Amino acid sequence: MENRTARLTILIDPIKKQIFEEICAQQDLTSSQVIRKLMRQYISEHAGSRELPEWLAGPVAKVENRS
């Protein structure tokens, strides 16, 4: 499973942050949950020939294979 000990700091404008957090809250998600999901999708789509751990490649790959 994921090791959630690393920190990533990003700078975005305050209005964009507020809107993003409001949308996340409406979906009963934290902004961190959404960012992690987006990162997993991005990694899966752009990993190329890199070997990914099963916990990272598995769920996203299953969703992509449905189409």
Q: What is the count of structural domains for the chain?
A: 1
| Cα distance from N-terminal residue to C-terminal residue, the chain | 26
Q: Does 13 fall in a domain?
A: no
Task: Please tell me the distance from the alpha carbon of residue 39 to that of residue 61, in angstroms, as a whole number.
Answer: 14
Parent domain of 47: 21-65
pTM for the model stands at 0.71
Cα dihedral: 33, 35, 37, 43 (round 10) = -150
pLDDT digits (tens, 9 = 90+) for 7-62: 889 999 999 999 999 999 999 999 999 999 998 889 888 888 888 888 776 654 44
Q: Does 15 fall in a domain?
A: no
Q: Does 7 fall in a domain?
A: no
Q: Does 53 fall in a domain?
A: yes
